Amino acid sequence: MTGTTPATDALDLAEAGAVLAAEAARFAALGWMRGTSGNLSLVLSRDPLRLAVTASGRDKGELTASDVVLTDGEGAAVGPGRPSAEAALHARVARLTGAGAVVHVHTVASVVMGRRSPEGIPFEGLEMLKGLGHPTHEVAVTLPVIANSQDMTELGDRLEAALTPGMPAVVVAGHGIYVWGADPREARHRAEVVEWLLELAAAGG
């Protein structure tokens, strides 16, 4: 934790925990974090890279500000608590994309479409694509689909290879979606847009 005092870090972590708990409660209410699935993260510092990641195995609709773990740039715990194994993927997304926040949720539509379009899910001519930063609906983009793995290095390699300009998201087949943004609010808005697109595609639209 070079360059920051423990006290400041502790405060940041609790603040981040409160933000992530509120975000998780929203996603849980949408049915995107059933059981104890999914996890959210927020970048606390860039140099060194430190993330607040939601604690593993908790009900995502009932998190409190303390249900959060501080991790390093590899997703390993720095201090108390056990992060999700997927913290390593959150950290890698933050390193690769510069994102300040990462959302990982398990939605039915993402699994339906990952199975139906394992080579990637094409979207074209949709106004909603502007919600991912495109200036017009007149674009054609592909939401990448990568195979699942319990090995976070392998999964991260697949995610890195699949990264697509103009698409701040990846579907993990049989699993769910990763979506990222500059901060938790942008990551949430983009997650909502990506899920809307997936529900449209699943409905045959």
Q: Annotated binding residues, as ranges?
A: 104, 106
Stretch that binds a copy of itself, among 2-10, 64-72, 126-134, 158-166 (CB under 8 A): 126-134
- Please, are residues 197 and 128 in contact by the beta-carbon 8 Å criterion? yes
Q: Which DSSP state fits 78?
A: S
Q: Which of 115, 118, 140, 183 binds a copy of itself (CB under 8 A)?
A: 115
Residue 200 interacts with a copy of itself (CB under 8 A): yes or no? yes
Least separation in angstroms between residue 196's CB and a copy of itself is 5
For residues 193 and 176, give the distance between their C-alpha atoms in angstroms, rounded to a whole number. 15
* Comparison of 74 and 124: residue with beta carbon closer to a copy of itself: 124
Least separation in angstroms between residue 2's CB and a copy of itself is 35
From the CB of residue 176, how many other CB atoms can be counted at a distance below 10 Å? Answer: 24
Stretch that binds a copy of itself, among 11-19, 70-78, 94-102, 131-139 (CB under 8 A): 131-139
Stretch that binds a copy of itself, among 15-23, 67-75, 94-102, 183-191 (CB under 8 A): 183-191
Least separation in angstroms between residue 35's CB and a copy of itself is 4
Q: Which of 2, 3, 80, 127 binds a copy of itself (CB under 8 A)?
A: 127
Reported residue count of the chain is: 205
Where are the extended beta strands (E) located within 47-154?
49-54, 68-71, 101-105, 121-124, 140-143, 145-146
Q: Which of residues 12-51 bind a copy of itself (CB under 8 A)?
A: 34-37
Instruction: Dihedral sign for Cα 158, 160, 166, 169, please.
Output: positive
Query: Is it true that the peptide bond before 165 is cis, omega within 30 degrees of 0?
Result: no
* Comparison of 77 and 85: residue with beta carbon closer to a copy of itself: 85
**76 Cβ contact list (under 8 Å, min separation 6):** 83, 87, 88
For residues 30 and 12, give the distance between their C-alpha atoms in angstroms, rounded to a whole number. 27
- Please, are residues 194 and 121 in contact by the beta-carbon 8 Å criterion? no
- Residues contributing to the site for a copy of itself (CB under 8 A): 34-37, 59, 106, 108-109, 111-112, 115-116, 125-128, 131, 135-138, 148, 150, 172, 174-176, 185, 189-190, 192-193, 195-196, 199-200, 202-205
